Structure 1
Amino acid sequence: MSDRNRRIKSWPSWVVLLIVVASVLAVGSTRSAGPQTQEERIDAVARRVACPVCNGESVFESRNRASRAIRNEITDLVRGTEATDDQIIAGLENTYGADVLLVPKATGFDALIWVLPAVAFVLGVAGLAVAFRRWKLQAEANIDPTDADRDIVAAALRDRDDRPR
């Protein structure tokens, strides 16, 4: 009966924890302050675009001629058009190819880059939970001593009592 009571008492805490984690993730992933000025917006877009010459640097960080040209193009688009940041980046992607994106898109085949680590983490945690539960059940099954265990203890006690003091 105590095992049943323990299980009944423990599952609500897991449900509450799951709700809290889901809420935090939902709020954190949808919340965005966004850049306020045009300069901040230009910098935000430039941080998302890769330098075509440098390896692993953004247009914002790089100081070579190609990066400056792209940054000037971003500046002209932000100041001269009503295009959103995503539209500007899509235009740059059309011009320079998909390699210009520092952060892969979260749609289509590129979505696997974002989903697979999360799936692997969940499967790993689930696997550990199953393994720990199985080990716990095996340990609980071995709690009751067998007749062989009783015989070993009885023999040890007899040997102890038979020893001279």
Structure 2
Amino acid sequence: MGRKGVICFIISLVMVAPRAFGASSLEEDVRQISTELRCPVCQGLSVADSPSRMADQMRDLIRERLEAGESPEAVKAYFVERYGEWILLAPRREGFNLLVWVLPFLGLTGGAAALLMVLRRWKNHPAPAAPSVDPATLERVRREMAQDQS
């Protein structure tokens, strides 16, 4: 391999290495950020999944900001500043938003504990025995039933 071959090999290695070692491409970053943001028009969809014109514009803006050198966190912060926390599909796990992540688990745990307590009470308290009937009353009821059948 000549000197030109070695130089070509090194240049190709330099171009391929960032991709091979996990450096993400611009389009991957755009896709990742747009999956975390809510579309203001389609509200139930992410910007990545929304077919709306607004989502197209938001994806273009994400791409422009990343090309300008902003970090993905800075791009998301821009949208949060502009639209509020609502724009994030998954609320941040800090401050008041932490309740959104914690309360469902606490509710499930509390419900399971209450159910367990009720089941244990039912198990520990058998049904009361039927009251005893005196023989005279029992005989009277039998005679009345026999008369009704005849």
Q: TM-score, normalised by structure 1?
A: 0.57
Residue 102 (structure 2) aligned to one of 99, 104, 115: 115
In the TM superposition, 1:1-165 aligns within 5 A as 36-81=24-69, 83=71, 85-139=72-126
> Greater CA radius of gyration, 1 or 2?
2
> In structure 1, the residue corresponding to 2:91 is in which secondary structure?
coil
Shift of the 35–43 alpha-carbon distance from structure 1 to 2, 3 Å rule, reads farther
> How far apart are the structure 1 equivalents of 2:108 and 2:23?
33
**Aligned-residue CA RMSD (Å):** 3.1
Q: Could you tell me how far 1:82 is from its partner in structure 2?
A: 5.3
Q: Distance in 1 between matches of 2:70 and 2:42?
A: 30
Cα distance, 1:105 vs. partner?
A: 1.8
Secondary structure at the aligned position of 2:125 is classed as helix
* Stretches of 4+ aligned residues off by more than 4 angstroms: 145-148
Task: Provide the C-alpha distance between the structure 2 equivalents of 1:125 and 1:40, rounded to a whole number of angstroms.
Answer: 42
Uncovered stretches (5+) of structure 2, i.e. residues with no partner: 1-21, 139-150
Q: Distance in 1 between matches of 2:59 and 2:130?
A: 77
Change (3 A) 1:57 1:146: closer
Count of matched residue pairs: 115
Report if the CA contact (8 A) 1:35-1:44 is conserved: no
